[in-house]
Structure 1
Amino acid sequence: MEQTAVEKKFGKYVMASMITMFLQSAYSMIDGLFVSNLIGDTALSAVNVAWPIIAVVTAIGTGVGCGGAVMMSTKQGEGKNEESNIVRANVILALLASSIVVTILFLILLTPLLKLMGAEGELLRLSQIYGRVMLTGGVLQILSCGLTPLLRNDNRAVSAMMIMVGGLFVNLGLDFVFMYVFHMGIGGAAGASLCAQLFTTLCCLIILGTKKTDPIRFSQFIIRKEYWKKIFKTAVSPFGISLTPSLLILYHNVACLKFGGDLAVKAYALISSTVGSYRVLLIGVAEGIQPLASYAYGAHDFHAIRKIRNKAVITAIGVSFFLFIFTIATARFYPAIYGYEGEAAELGYHAVMVTAAQLIFTGLVRVTNSFFYSVGKDKYSLFMIYFDPLIMTPLTIVILPRILGLDGIWITAVVTQFILNIVAFGMFASHERQMKRMEAEKAFAGK
């Protein structure tokens, strides 16, 4: 990647990343559409209840992949391409090691965790079936999520997007075959997702191994402990970005069970399948800037860093407002699309309308998260990522429902994202002052 071309690649990387992230999240959305219409809305709730557990697995893959990708781009910005290739090989080894440990651990803990979240009866049974199948393929989930960032940072953002398009069609086709033709139920939905992830993994490995410049070679698989340490340290931020939505689903499901029972869980499942999926587009904007920002950071190109940051903020805010308006305009159709009827349909529609405003504020938060870990400001990034799911949302979701009832649950994300926007503006102002000092020191050293 030429240093002078970094800014020109902004649109290509961001658009490809947005589509890739949306398609990655579409696996659960497609499963939800099939299970809700072919099995029932309890099955959709089961997918939603089990997903936070499964999402830990995918978040580990995303975290390790993105953590290594940041290191790769930084090395490339420094002009150290061979070291970047060795980093890439170590990322693949780290993904394999992580997948084995995580798969075994979560298969053992699945049922206790589902019960801890309040699942029981038919909801528990369906959640167990879906979760066991998905977790059995934990290696595929971690590899498919972890290899995509490597492609993106190897200047293969469009290839990564096309692979996800192919995986989506595989998932869609096999959902129909497994569930409609062979009547395999919710387990068939999970099996279709795993087959799609197998397709994604194989395609990523083939492209990385056959590319004309800097292909993967066995000689590059040299275990470097210092690389693993840096990869996992940086991985904490993208891991949190990927996992946070699922942690929020967990908190909301528990609150829904407490304040509204199964009907409220179904309403929140509709939010997760619609507003939650749109939110992933904003993560795509944020992750799209990562290769560019990390490369510019490695090259000490402060002008490019500033341009990339400003474009990302403007793009994210623009997309945020578009998604909010789109959600309000289309919300009435969502219950019917997912097979909701009667009271469940009305409550689901109301819940989506109340919580849609969170989209206005989510874009800036997502860009802040990704930008700071991409340019080595891990403390800023970690605060933005973990303050919400570990402190703000748990406190807010305990307080607001006691005041506003179920509306307190739906509005929780609106309140927390608004507060994080204020924090984000303060962090960007602080970082701008730091960059100006670094520019002054660089200019003085050059004299």
Structure 2
Amino acid sequence: MESNNKMSDNKQAALALGTKPVGQLLWQYALPAIVAMTASSLYNIIDRAMIGQIVGPEAIAGLGITFPFMNLSAAFGAAVGVGSSASISVKLGQKDYKVAQNLLGNTVTLNLIIGFLFMAISLVFLDPILRFFGASDVTLPYAREFMIVILLGNMVTHMYFGLNAVLRAAGKPKLAMYSVLFTVAMNIVLVLTFVWWFRWGIRGAALATVTSQTLAMCWQLRLFSNKKELLHFKRGMFKLKADLVKNIVAIGVSPFLMNATSCVIVIFMNNQFVHYGGDMAVGAYSIANSVVMMFFMFVMGVCQGMQPIVGYNYGAEKYDRMLRCLFMAIGCATAILLVGWGLSMLFPRQIARIFTTDETLINLSARGIKLDMLVFFVVGSQAVITHFFQSIGKVKVSIFLSLSRQLFLLLPMAFVFPMFWDLDGVWYSMPASDFGSFAMTIPMLMWYMKKFKSVDVKSEEL
């Protein structure tokens, strides 16, 4: 009896996505995600600051070389995590609980397979890959030491992020937040222990990351083992089903391409910075990238909060609620990035000093932060709209918007601009591509809005 009541409560939590006021829902779902992402950003800042202050500026540059690896790993994780969570949200909106359950099982299996294959292939070819990513004789040892530990824990990382995405889709945003907060808190404690106390260097930072994610994943597995939950593990659900995998991949291909393209871009940018400014320029790019991601994580929290609401109401054909949620999310994201833009324009040197005491690196980073974030306030709406199309399964549109900034604009600009402005040209390419992708995204949204509104009018007439 108690089990049935628990199941009924979980179904009610999912049904609330289509009935509660949209603003209240967005606050309910986005706030935990924002808190979690903010905590994650704080960890990344502390992690890089500890490495920069204790290990040295060369280690920061070496860490920057690993960004493409992290993006590529995230690409495969996102393909499964975002694809499955968006599919689950839509199925819950359609009240198809059996398929939603099987999607959870297929998410676990895909994460294990992909995580293992990525780890094995990357470890075999680690040094050549890092060289290709822009590592020099100075930065290669740091990058290698960090990535060996991260790759050994790759299956855990994929599983951890995938299950957290499913928690949000299943109407458990607070549990997803607790998972991230626990990971971040444990990360900070372990980084202080391994890097500052034991002096294990950059390897200690990687070990702290993998250990904290492993502990959080164990807790997630326990949650999904509870038979009282609407979505829980049971026999037979882990066998891959072609139609479900196809659905996950169809939606997940957009975030995969976005992250994979980020990998290509960071490789290219690292090589451009090495060519025009040397290892210290790569270190400055690493610092500027950390600052950008710190504020952008807030926006990702808004996007994650929006996703189950949009997906559910799209599945339930409640397009007016879906669009209301979208516009509220755009407003939140833009306001957040305006704050980030203001702080970066006013205090770039103070921000750079968090990561290093080296004056050369501080000067390069301060200028890089200002140039990189020149039009940062327009990025939020582009990110929210791209995630919106992911959430409703509009794969081709989402892919186009995902690739527009990085592949179609940033890559050619980062190649051409340095011919005119040297090192500054590499920095200029980033705000120019930000504004260009924003200008491409708005007309696309307006066109789709007309389609949704026309469907609503027809349904009212009937």
| TM-score of the superposed pair, with normalisation by structure 1 | 0.95
Task: Report the equivalent of 2:292.
Answer: 275
**For 2:230, what is the secondary structure of its paired residue?**
coil
Query: What aligned pairs does 1:29-428 form with structure 2 within 5 A after superposition?
Result: 29-210=45-226, 212-219=228-235, 220-428=237-445
User: Matches of 2:148 and 2:21 in 1, distance apart?
Assistant: 43
Is contact 1:6-1:296 (8 Å) kept?
no
1:345-402 deviations in Å (ceiling 9; x for gaps): 1121111122222421110110111001111221111001023222211100011112
| 8 Å Cα contact 1:270-1:334 kept in structure 2 | no
Cα offsets for 1:205-240 (capped at 9, x unmatched): 222223733141323334321001110111112224
Task: Give the AA of the match of 2:20.
Answer: A
User: Which residue of the partner structure matches residue 19 of structure 2?
Assistant: 4
Deviation at 1:4, TM superposition (A): 0.9
Looking at structure 2, the residues matched to 330 and 248 of structure 1 have their Cα atoms a distance apart, in angstroms, of: 27
Task: Label 1:211 to 1:255 Cα distance change in 2 as closer, same or farther (>3 A).
Answer: farther
2:119 is matched by which residue type in structure 1? Answer: T
Distance 1:393 1:408 in 2: 11
Paired residues of 1:31 and 1:190 also in contact (CA < 8 A): no
Relative to 1, partners in 2 of residues 1:22 and 1:236: Cα closer, same or farther, differing over 3 Å?
farther
With 432-441 and 393-402 compared, the bigger mean Cα shift is at: 432-441
Contact 1:54 1:135 (C-alpha < 8 Å) held by counterparts: no
Q: Mean Cα displacement is larger for which, 12-21 or 66-75?
A: 12-21
Q: Is this contact kept in 1: 2:65–2:134, CA < 8 A?
A: no
Change (3 A) 1:244 1:323: farther
Match of 1:343, SS state, is helix
Q: Distance in 1 between matches of 2:406 and 2:151?
A: 23
Q: Specify the code of the residue in structure 2 equivalent to 1:5.
A: K
Change (3 A) 1:247 1:271: farther
Change (3 A) 1:221 1:113: closer
**In structure 1, how many angstroms separate the alpha carbons of the residues matched to 2:345 and 2:58?**
25
Q: Deviations over 1:415-444 (max 9, x none)?
A: 111111111110111101111232244345
SS of equivalent residue, structure 1 residue 274: helix
Residue 429 of structure 1 pairs with residue 446 of structure 2 = yes
Q: Name the aligned partner's letter for residue 16 of structure 1.
A: P
Structure 1's 21 and 242: CA in aligned 2 closer, same or farther, altered over 3 A? Answer: farther
Instruction: Answer whether contact 1:117 1:250 (CA < 8 A) is retained.
Output: yes
After superposition, the Cα gap between the structure-2 partners of 1:149 and 1:241, relative to the gap in structure 1 and judged at 3 Å, is farther
Q: How much does 1:62 deviate?
A: 2.5
Contact 1:282 1:363 in 2 (8 A): yes
Structure 2: distance between partners of 1:212 and 1:92? 19
Q: How many Å separate the matches in 2 of 1:247 and 1:317?
A: 27
Q: Distance in 2 between matches of 1:28 and 1:48?
A: 12
Secondary structure, counterpart of 1:93 in structure 2: helix
Q: How many Å separate the matches in 2 of 1:367 and 1:247?
A: 22
Q: Distance in 1 between matches of 2:140 and 2:126?
A: 11
Change (3 A) 1:96 1:250: same
* Partner SS state of residue 135, structure 2: coil
Find the residue that maps to 1:105 and give its secondary structure: helix
Query: Residue 259 of structure 1: CA displacement?
Result: 0.7
Aligned to 2:7: none
Q: Structure 1 unaligned runs (5+)?
A: none
- Which residue does the alignment assign to 2:8? none
Distance apart, 1:39 and its partner CA? 0.7
Report how far residue 269 of structure 1 moved: 1.5
Q: Which amino acid aligns with 2:340?
A: L
Equivalent-residue separation in structure 2 for 1:245 and 1:280 (angstroms): 16
Range that drifts further, 292-301 or 428-437: 428-437
**Hey, what's the Cα distance between the residues in 2 that align with 1:4 and 1:132?**
48
1:88–1:150 Cα contact (<8 Å) kept: yes
- What displacement does 1:279 show? 1.8
In structure 2, the gaps of 5 or more residues are 1-13
Deviates more, 1:20-29 or 1:230-239: 20-29
In 2, are the aligned partners of 1:95 and 1:142 still within 8 Å (CA)?
Answer: yes
Q: Distance in 2 between matches of 1:28 and 1:243?
A: 21
Shift of 1:328: 2.3
1:153 deviates by: 0.8
Distance 1:62 1:42 in 2: 30
**Preserved contact between residue 100 and residue 231 of structure 2 (Cα < 8 Å):** no
Alignment-mate amino acid for residue 182 of structure 1: F
How big is the alpha-carbon RMSD for the aligned residues of Structure 1 and Structure 2? 1.8
1:272 Cα deviation from its structure 2 partner: 1.4
Cα distance in structure 1, aligned partners of 2:227 and 2:405: 40
TM-score (norm 2): 0.92
Alpha-carbon offset, residue 329 of structure 1: 3.2
1:16 corresponds to which residue?
A: 32
Whether the 8 Å contact between 1:369 and 1:384 is mirrored in structure 2 is yes
CA distance in 2, matches of 1:247, 1:27: 25
Amino acid of the structure 1 residue aligned with 2:437: L
Overall identity of the aligned pairs, in %? 23
Query: Do the aligned partners of residues 250 and 282 (structure 1) sit closer, same or farther apart at CA in structure 2, a change above 3 Å counting?
Result: farther
Structure 2 CA distance, aligned partners of 1:146 and 1:243? 17
CA shift at 1:250, angstroms? 2.6
Deviates more, 1:154-163 or 1:244-253: 244-253
Count of aligned positions = 445
Contact 2:333 2:384 in 1 (8 A): yes
